[in-house]
Amino acid sequence: MGKRGEDNRMLSGRTAVITGSTSGLGLAMAEAFAEAGCHVVLNGFGDAHAIDTLKRQIEGLSGTGALYHPADVSRPQDCAAIIQSASKHFGAVDILVNNAGIQYVSPIESFPAERWDSILAVNLSAAFHTTQAALPGMRQRGWGRIINISSVQGLVGSIHKSAYVAAKHGLIGLTKVTALEVASSEITCNAICPGYVLTSMVGAQIEDRVAKSGLDFETAAHEFLKEKQPSLRFTKTEHVAKLAVFLCGEAASDINGAALPIDGGWTAQ
């Protein structure tokens, strides 16, 4: 019990790059890694003043350093640039969290080809490009953690989400290959598969249901959850964030290539 403070800063001095971290789940992970003692590299879109405020807030958590990089992760050169910038600023990239994601909902017959391409670029290809850029440094230093934020929909299908489901399934495949390639080192790669988290992406789907059904938001959210998530409650961003931090600790050093659901029982059905 006397080591509680040490446990809270178990990643002291490490540097974590988290894509898509200016809001929602990504921001929750940025905060959790900062509280664990990490320097944090924020990434995402948003108002410049608001992002600067977030950066200062992250810096205030346990006195950690923070950097913002505006990489558009749909572009391979930007994926490399964020790793290079983080390495130059903090000396290393020890932890890479591939979190950035976008969504579009439509039947396959009417699914726009450009939407398919952009979803695969952000949700899948970006993780390949950032991993490719980060791995050499991790190998050189003999330690690293790569965490891919997949989804329960990387494990099961859902109608009208062909690109998202395909990308998230692919991300689990990439996770397994990466894990096998680094298995003899002190580097691990794992995927976290959240169920429904009340992010702006999920909120937009519920708002669409409100518009079509006339239900209030709370009722529409309950109906939304009832279809898939037996807990009937949203997975909390802070719980996903704590799982990500755990995967970077000593107790998780033999967890490699796993796809870990945190889904309120969704995949138990």
Q: What angle do the packed helices 200-213 and 217-226 form, to 10 degrees?
A: 110
Give the pair of three-digit tokens for residue 110.
């009417």
Give the pair of three-digit tokens for residue 120.
């695969």
- 192: which strand partners? 149, 260
Annotated active-site residue in 68, 104, 164, 196: 164
What one-letter code names the amino acid at 237?
Answer: T
Phi, psi of 220, rounded to the nearest 5 degrees: -65, -40
Dihedral sign (CA 74, 79, 85, 87): positive
How far, in Å, CA of 62 to CA of 11, rounded? 12
How far, in Å, CA of 23 to CA of 226, rounded? 26
What one-letter code names the amino acid at 220?
Answer: A
Token pair 């009722």 in the structure block, residue: 219
For residue 164, indicate whether it is catalytic: yes
Is residue 207 within a helix (H) or strand (E), and if so which, with residue range? Answer: helix 200-213
Enzyme catalytic residues: 164
